Amino acid sequence: RIGSATSLSSAVINTRLQELVRLFKERTEKVKEKLTDPDVTSDDESPVASPAAAPVPAPGRELEGDKVSGDDHYCEMLCCTFKSRPRLDHLKSYQFPSSIDPLTNLMYVLWLFFVVMAWNWNCWLIPVRWAFPYQTPANIHYWLLVDYLCDLIYLLDIVVFQTRLQFVQGGDIITDKKAMKRNYLRSQRFKMDVLCLLPLDFFYFKVGVNPLLRLPRCLKYMAFFEFNNRLEAILTKAYIYRVIRTTAYLLYSLHVNSCLYYWASAYEGLGSTTWVYDGEGNSYIRCYYWAVKTLITIGGLPDPKTLFEIVFQLLNYFTGVFAFSVMIGQMRDVVGAATAGQTYYRSCMDSTIKYMNFYKIPKTVQNRVKTWYEYTWHSQGMLDESELLVQLPDKMRLDIAIDVNYNIVSKVALFQGCDRQMIFDMLKRLRSVVYLPNDFVCKKGEIGREMYIIQAGQVQVLGGPDGKSVLVTLKAGSVFGEISLLAAGGGNRRTANVVAHGFANLFILEKKDLNEILVHYPESQKLLRKKAKKMLKSNNKPKEEKGGPGDPLIIPPKADTPKLFRAALAATGRMGGKGPLGRLR
């Protein structure tokens, strides 16, 4: 029993000491890495500061901070109670920004939406109230209420928002209040904003409430176009909004034409001839139907009788042909821009198929080429990512590369401890390649001149006597071929076949690109060569050292006693200690 207890305790102590040795080694490696590259951060998580580290009160007592005053507000969530400020206090403490970035501020885009809604109210309802008898003395106060609410929005836009917009002058972003206000007062937009708020409503006392006196309110069109630009920059599928906007242009032209037709009918007399509106049914719907048939030149309309009717109809036909052709052309441009990528993909694929048919390429190869085109397009939305980024400045390309690839490349053991800027330069040289199922990524015996990083999918390393046995399956985030980047003599030969298992998206870093980068980072170059030598030595150890299968060991060698364990035993002997360590000694 004593022997079994001693062996059990010694096994536990041995396991614990081995665990301590492993932890010491890991910490030593981290310290070395920190000394090599000061930018490398620790893997340990930073302690999170608690929101309120309250002391424990004595029994029967209450801390002063625990006393709830009548003005405090609390909200319960799960099992905890949190102090929250009432909404009224939030509103009181809110401060309106002194300057607004018109390009990125979403609050400004939301405000432009309300301004555009007020502008649309004037543009759509002023012609209706002028032509149709919808504005009556019984409901005039409702119309005036909405009118002056729109005027208030116009006034707030001038006083509050436009005077706080940032602008660029000489390459600098100006945020000074006086400078922003002065810039707006000197702009063309300020003149149009003042013109659209001309107080022509005072003529109501003389000529009555005539909606045409509010026609200058439609001059705030600059806010409409600015809203379009800001909204298209936010939307992921801006072409949908462009189609809706172009359709609204067509509907508005028909709307104005219907109002003009009713005015012409009222001028000639409702039902006076077969051409004018006869006054039956819903006046707006019937006039809008007539406007659609006229502007789109469908035909089937009654012939005009009087000279006024003939001139009005001719002008309608000419305007209809011009407006409709402009709308069709604009719609074609919008749809063409939305499907430009798809059109480019189809043209490339058709040209490739035509080329393969001309040279009578086997059908199996043609099918693989078609599969590559379809998968690449559906997975990436483009055929070549470099074509999309080539127009961006170098700094923006680096930012995108860091967000996409840095997490993968930073895990490569070969590059750990290198200069971070060198890794950033390397990210811009990565090239994305798609491999089809059973495609050979690299073959055994060929010279390795590139490194591979798996972005998506899996690859299999094949070996064995027949070269078809799966040795290991590498998944997304794995790296292979990194030693060949720094091997001397033109590169080392591949030791196994690597085949794509399904569709695989890989990043490739070529050796020449890395050499061009390392010229500017000599310290990182030395570190990489040391790591490459160590990795090559570990891979090229003779089989005799590792114990080949031809000469198996009958009695395995006894493992060495860990140094820390020997030190602990020696210390126990010197102190004359007893117990498990003493008995074990």
Tens-digit pLDDT profile for residues 435-472: 888 889 988 888 888 888 888 889 999 988 887 888 89
Quick: pLDDT tens for 155-195: 999 999 999 999 998 888 889 999 999 999 999 999 999 99
Among the three residues 366, 383, 400, which one is the final residue of a domain in this structure?
Answer: 383
Looking at the structure, tell me whether residues 411 and 451 fall in a common domain. Answer: yes
Q: What's the pLDDT score for residue 574?
A: 58
Closest CA to 126 of 212, 202, 251, 209: 212
Q: What's the pLDDT score for residue 264?
A: 93
**pLDDT confidence tier of residue 307, bands split at 50, 70 and 90:** very high
Least confident of 114-128, 381-395, 507-521: 381-395
DSSP assignment, residue 100?
A: B
Spatial separation of the C-alpha atoms in residues 300 and 316, rounded to whole Å: 15
How many structural domains compose the chain?
A: 3
CATH number of the domain at 465, please. Answer: 2.60.120.10
Q: What's the pLDDT score for residue 154?
A: 96
**Contact at 8 Å (CB) between 166 and 297?**
no
Q: What's the pLDDT score for residue 69?
A: 46
Q: What's the pLDDT score for residue 579?
A: 55
- The CA R_g of the chain, rounded to the nearest whole Å, is 39
Looking at the structure, tell me whether residues 496 and 399 fall in a common domain. Answer: yes
> Domain span at residue 134?
95-234
Q: Which of 558 and 136 is assigned the larger pLDDT?
A: 136
**Contact at 8 Å (CB) between 114 and 106?**
no
**Contact at 8 Å (CB) between 476 and 455?**
yes
CATH number of the domain at 362, please. Answer: 1.10.287
Per-residue buried b or exposed e for 440-476, using 16+ beta carbons within 10 Å of the residue's own CB: ebbeeeeebbbbbbbbebebbbbeeeeeeeeeeebee
Instruction: For residue 234, give both structure tokens.
Output: 């936010």
**pLDDT confidence tier of residue 39, bands split at 50, 70 and 90:** very low
CA-to-CA dists, residue 173 to 169, 186, 260, angstroms = 7, 18, 48
Looking at the structure, tell me whether residues 399 and 525 fall in a common domain. Answer: yes
**Helix 283-295 with 238-268: angle, nearest 10 deg:** 110
Looking at the structure, tell me whether residues 259 and 350 fall in a common domain. Answer: yes
**Contact at 8 Å (CB) between 435 and 503?**
yes
Q: What's the pLDDT score for residue 57?
A: 47
The total of other beta-carbon atoms located within 10 Å of residue 78's CB is: 5
Q: What's the pLDDT score for residue 515?
A: 86
- Is it the case that residue 12 has pLDDT exceeding 80? no
Looking at the structure, tell me whether residues 325 and 412 fall in a common domain. Answer: no
Quick: pLDDT tens for 241-270: 998 999 999 999 999 999 999 999 999 999
Mean pLDDT value of segment 294-305: 79
Among the three residues 234, 250, 283, which one is the final residue of a domain in this structure?
Answer: 234
Mean pLDDT score across all residues of the chain: 80
Quick: pLDDT tens for 510-544: 888 888 888 888 888 888 888 877 777 776 655 44
Spatial separation of the C-alpha atoms in residues 103 and 226, rounded to whole Å: 10
Mean pLDDT value of segment 108-114: 95
Q: Which of 383 and 122 is assigned the larger pLDDT?
A: 122
Mean pLDDT value of segment 296-313: 84
Specify the pTM: 0.64
Looking at the structure, tell me whether residues 350 and 338 fall in a common domain. Answer: yes
DSSP assignment, residue 273?
A: S
The total of other beta-carbon atoms located within 10 Å of residue 232's CB is: 13
- Is it the case that residue 355 has pLDDT exceeding 80? yes
Spatial separation of the C-alpha atoms in residues 9 and 572, rounded to whole Å: 15
The rounded percent of the chain whose pLDDT value lies above 90 is 29
Q: Is residue 308 situated within a structural domain?
A: yes
Q: Please provide the size of the chain in residues.
A: 585
Q: Which of 344 and 33 is assigned the larger pLDDT?
A: 344
